[in-house]
Amino acid sequence: MFERGKSVLDKFEIKKITEINSSESKVSTMSQRNSKNPRGQAMIGPSIVINGKVSGDEDLTIEGTVEGSIDLPNQNVLIGQSGRVEADVQGKIVHIEGKIEGDIKGVEQVIISNSGNVRGNLVAPRVTLEDGAVFKGSIDMDPGEPLLEKAKSSIKDKIQKESLEKGSSQ
């Protein structure tokens, strides 16, 4: 029952150090996520309420309330567990852990976590619904034109345009 040389305070210190290490690993994981996006990450805190349109060049984490629209097609959008959104949302990867009422368009993917609650339509090439997620709406998983094909056609168009311009200038 009792360990020699160990007091209750020593055990408390061990628990405290473990909690600190756990917190540091969470911060490390968050900073690794942020290092993928050099523009940074914006956060709407739990006590913040926004009415209107949200747009920008940073990944967005929502822990507060947003009503209106969120238009971040090149950035990731995370609706945290305390996040409440009444808006149409567009993002590169949209991850829902909180509650949202509105249509969601994920350019790459939409993820609804087990704590997520969605009332609206999803459009994305990849959709993940975790066990326990609440969802009411429709899902459209049309992958659209793949990026590689889009890039190839863009390059072909550019080459054709340049050759036409050279031909007309001679």
**DSSP string spanning the chain?**
---TT--HHHHHHHHHHHHHHHHHHHHHHHHHHHHH-TT-EEEE-TT-EEEEEEE-SSEEEE-SEEEEEEEETTS-EEE-TT-EEEEEEEEEEEEESSEEES-EEEEEEEEE-TT-EEES-EE-S-EEE-TT-EEES-EE----S-HHHHHHHHHHHHHHHHHHHHHHH-
Question: What are 54-105's pLDDT values in tens digits?
Answer: 999 999 999 999 999 999 999 999 999 999 999 999 999 999 999 999 999 9
Residue 35's pLDDT band, with cuts at 50, 70 and 90, is very low
Average pLDDT, integer, range 6-16: 47
